Amino acid sequence: MNKKLIIAKTEEMVRDRLSNERTGHDWYHIERVTKLAQQIAMEENADIFIVTLAALLHDLADDKVVANEKEGMDNIQAWLKDFNIREVDCDHIIQIVSTMSFKGGNNQLVNSLEAKVVQDADRLDAIGAIGIARCFIYAGKKGTAMYDPTIEIREEMTVEEYRKGKSSGLHHFYEKLLKLKNLMNTKTGYQLAIERHAYIEQYLKQFLKEFKLNDTNIVDFIRE
């Protein structure tokens, strides 16, 4: 089993599959997550091969990207089996992909070091400067508002409510992004999350400051 060849072929396939993806889950997201996962795996002594393949494949069975999660998972499994990867490794990768999504806080708990590593890497790409950009591009793709102050922030949601309930780009900060630092599984992931978390807190303060700008003087001038 030539691991380098398997990874190269998988990279090529995923890049082709997600080349026209426009919700922030494109190939460049996959590439960033994979590199982060490899970095964390080295620090945490996780299996780099398992981590790399799981990171590369993780969005091909996500309901934000594919129409049918089961079909996506079946395709991933078929892809892995074509390379004669050990069954135990195939099962491990499938388990990682199937449990890493946030789903409004309703996701299953990850139960292996490699799963924790890949989940941390994916969550790191959801915060910081890139995470902010991805948040708003996804909101726009869904047709939701950048921010609607009349909508209440949801603390607890079902998966259905999380995916289809009334929200906005900025609400997603409260409903997911600000929670991720303290949900990191690994020490390395947590350390990497600190700076990114601080950045989105700073951005959020500035956004709300600008959104709530006091226009009294302008109104008074117009009335004159």
Domains of the chain, earliest start first = 3-211 (1.10.3210.50)
The predicted pLDDT at position 101 comes to: 81
Q: Which of 107, 112, 108 is nearest to 41 (CA)?
A: 112
What average pLDDT does this structure show over 164-170? 86
Q: What's the whole-model pTM score?
A: 0.90
What average pLDDT does this structure show over 83-88? 93
Distance CA 59, CA 106 (A): 17
What average pLDDT does this structure show over 180-207? 97
The identity of residue 124, as a single letter, is L
What average pLDDT does this structure show over 111-126? 96
